[in-house]
């Protein structure tokens, strides 16, 4: 690669954060960690500080932040709270911001990275779901770069290199179908937390794992694709592909389909987002085609997986409805993980929130924050046992 890049990782102790550090560990000459942020896991963060020597770290939990500063003394500067997250995004030295934190919390620091014209390696899909129009406008206005880390979007991004937008017939996002692909609709009522956390192909954080089980993850990804690639609802299709070998596809107007494939490993799309347009040789996975038994494809069941249907609906309605859906989903997933509601209450909480909270057309940032706050306030009292 041409020069060493400074990397800021938001959410460094999570699944994407740790995989990003695995990539960086493989290429110490190419990447240098300048900042790390976490919610509260200071034990893992301390080990990361010892290995990667960032200049700044942020711990959202303020008590944990001061505990860590005492423990590490002057090894690096510890900032705290969501203001610390903004501060590091606004003022620290980095070339690439990896947004590996989960949920709505990704929005504000991402905006600061865009204003500084940085490359955003975007894992935090919720940012584009809640504020896709504003974010894409800002990327254009400031001349920043938005490179997808999500495996489906990285696949589509790679398939589109050298192609014109007018040649695209449709984007085909693949979905594993999650652990309940073959379950009956009514069986979903009795799903336990452990069953929902057992994803067949990927090891990920809890929130996205539940989103994969409800197929809300694919719904969020359809909206993410809409903003990243500027295509409408009827040009974005979902296909269930249980083996997760083809990460996504693009069909062109002449009927030809390009696919991007490998054994599933998030280090690949993460590394690509860091090195694009270059590639670095690595051997995380070896995809031996004769060893793959079969590649199969199915239509998704929109009746069973209501969250996927809801995502298509809010994408068409627009305004603040994707923000309402996202906030209600974050609250519902949290409640399900705590055993407070059933698995099938998740789409019900989203639907009740969409009915209750007012939709605002062409929202500004303030309206989006207010909509997120109102929806959380409303959704948190729904369906408690
Ligand atoms: P995770 O739960 O494993 O990790 C989340 C990280 O963010 C942790 O370091 C945590 O300390 C931090 N964090 C949590 N809440 C926070 C808050 N409110 N404010 C600041 N920091 C906070 O999550 P993950 O699976 O790594 O996913 C991260 C993001 O990447 C999500 O948006 C997810 O949808 C997306 N993504 C993940 C995968 C995957 O394979 N895990 C794939 C594609 C996209
Ligand atoms: Mg994905």
Q: Which ligand lies nearest the alpha carbon of 130?
A: 1
The answer to whether the Cα torsion of 155, 159, 160, 164 is positive or negative is negative
Report how far residue 28's alpha carbon sits from residue 23's, in angstroms, rounded to the nearest whole number: 9
User: Residue 2's pLDDT band (boundaries 50, 70, 90)?
Assistant: confident
In a shared domain, residues 101 and 188: no
Q: Does residue 199 surpass a pLDDT of 90? A: no
**What is the per-residue pLDDT across 151-172, written as a single tens digit (0 to 9) for each?**
999 999 999 999 999 999 999 9
Helices (H) and strands (E) in the chain, counts: 15, 11
CA of 15 to the centre of ligand 1 (A): 7
Over residues 200-207, the mean pLDDT reads: 88
Closest-approaching ligand to the CA atom of 124: 1
Atom of ligand 1 nearest to the CA of 207: 2
Two structure tokens written together for 199: 């994803």
Nearest to 229 by CA among 135, 156, 294: 156
Domain count, the chain: 3
186 and 252 share one domain: yes
Domain ranges, residue 367: 318-385
* Ligand 2 center to 243 CA (angstroms): 14
Q: How many angstroms separate the alpha carbon of residue 251 from the centre of ligand 1?
A: 31
Position 278 in a domain: no
Q: Confirm if 56 and 88 have CB atoms less than 8 A apart.
A: yes
In what side-by-side order are the strands of the sheet with 246-252?
Answer: 236-240, 168-175, 246-252, 257-261
Q: Is residue 281 part of a domain?
A: no
Percent of the chain surpassing pLDDT 70: 100
From atom 41 of ligand 1, which residue's Cα is the shortest distance away?
204
Is 45 part of a structural domain of the chain?
yes
Mean pLDDT computed over every residue of the chain? 97
Does 308 share its domain with 177? yes
In CATH, what number is assigned to the domain containing residue 110? 3.40.50.720
Burial call 290-308: b when 16+ CB within 10 Å, e when fewer: eeeeeeeeeebbeebbbbb
- Establish if 205 belongs to a structural domain: yes
Same domain, 168 and 128: no
Is 270 a domain residue?
Answer: no
- Residue 384 pLDDT greater than 80, yes or no: no
322 CA to middle of ligand 1, Å? 19
Q: 204 with 292, same domain?
A: yes
Q: What is the CATH number of the domain that holds 347?
A: 1.10.1740.10
Instruction: Taking residues 260-284, report their average pLDDT.
Output: 97
Bridge partners for 99 per DSSP: 10, 122
pTM of the model: 0.98
Residue position matching structure tokens 């900032």: 79
Segment 116-127 shows an average pLDDT of: 98
- Quote the pLDDT of residue 201: 83
Whether 315 and 233 have beta carbons less than 8 Å apart is answered as yes
The stretch 86-108 carries a mean pLDDT of 98
Q: Are 230 and 339 in the same domain?
A: no
pLDDT tens figures, 226-264: 999 999 999 999 999 999 999 999 999 999 999 999 999
Q: Are residues 239 and 294 in the same domain?
A: yes
Residues 217 and 328 in one domain: no
Judge whether 126 lies within some domain. yes
Looking at residue 385, what is its pLDDT? Answer: 60
- Provide residues with CB under 6 Å of ligand 1: 11-17, 38-39, 41, 60, 100-102, 105, 123-126, 150, 202, 204-208, 266
- The answer on 24 and 169 residing in a single domain is no
């Amino acid at each position: 690669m041409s020069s060493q890049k400074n990397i800021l990782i938001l959410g460094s102790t999570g699944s994407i954060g740790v995989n990003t550090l695995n990539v960086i560990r493989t290429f110490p000459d190419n990447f240098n960690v300048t900042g790390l942020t976490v919610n509260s896991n200071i034990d893992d963060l301390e080990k990361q500080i010892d290995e990667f020597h960032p200049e700044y770290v942020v711990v959202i939990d303020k008590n944990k932040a001061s505990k860590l500063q005492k423990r590490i003394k002057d090894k690096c500067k510890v900032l705290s709270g969501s203001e610390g997250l903004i501060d590091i995004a606004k003022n620290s030295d980095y070339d690439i911001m990896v947004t590996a934190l989960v949920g709505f919390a990704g929005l504000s620091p991402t905006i600061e990275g865009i204003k500084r014209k940085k490359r955003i390696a975007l894992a935090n899909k919720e940012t584009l779901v809640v504020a896709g129009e504003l974010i894409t406008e800002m990327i254009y206005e400031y001349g920043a770069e938005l490179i997808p880390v999500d495996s489906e979007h990285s696949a589509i991004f790679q398939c589109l290199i050298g192609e014109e937008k007018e040649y695209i017939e449709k984007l085909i996002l693949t979905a594993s179908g999650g652990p309940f692909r073959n379950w009956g609709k009514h069986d979903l009522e009795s799903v336990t937390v452990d069953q929902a956390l057992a994803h067949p192909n990927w090891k990920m954080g809890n929130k996205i794992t539940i989103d994969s089980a409800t197929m809300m993850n694919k719904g969020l990804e359809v909206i993410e694709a809409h903003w990243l690639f500027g295509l409408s609802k009827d040009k974005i299709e979902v296909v269930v592909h249980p083996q997760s070998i083809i990460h996504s596809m693009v069909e062109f107007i002449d009927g030809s389909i390009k696919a991007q494939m490998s054994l599933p490993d998030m280090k690949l799309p993460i590394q690509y987002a860091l090195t694009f347009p270059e590639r670095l040789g690595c051997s995380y996975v070896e995809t031996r085609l004769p060893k793959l038994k079969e590649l199969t494809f199915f239509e998704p069941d929109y009746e069973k997986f209501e969250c996927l249907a809801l995502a298509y609906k809010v994408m068409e309605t627009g305004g603040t409805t994707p923000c309402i859906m996202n906030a209600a989903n974050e609250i519902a997933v949290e409640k399900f993980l705590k055993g407070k509601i059933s698995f099938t209450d998740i789409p019900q909480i989203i639907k009740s929130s969409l009915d209750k909270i007012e939709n605002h057309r062409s929202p500004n940032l303030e309206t989006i924050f207010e909509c997120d706050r109102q929806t959380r306030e409303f959704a948190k009292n729904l369906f408690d046992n």
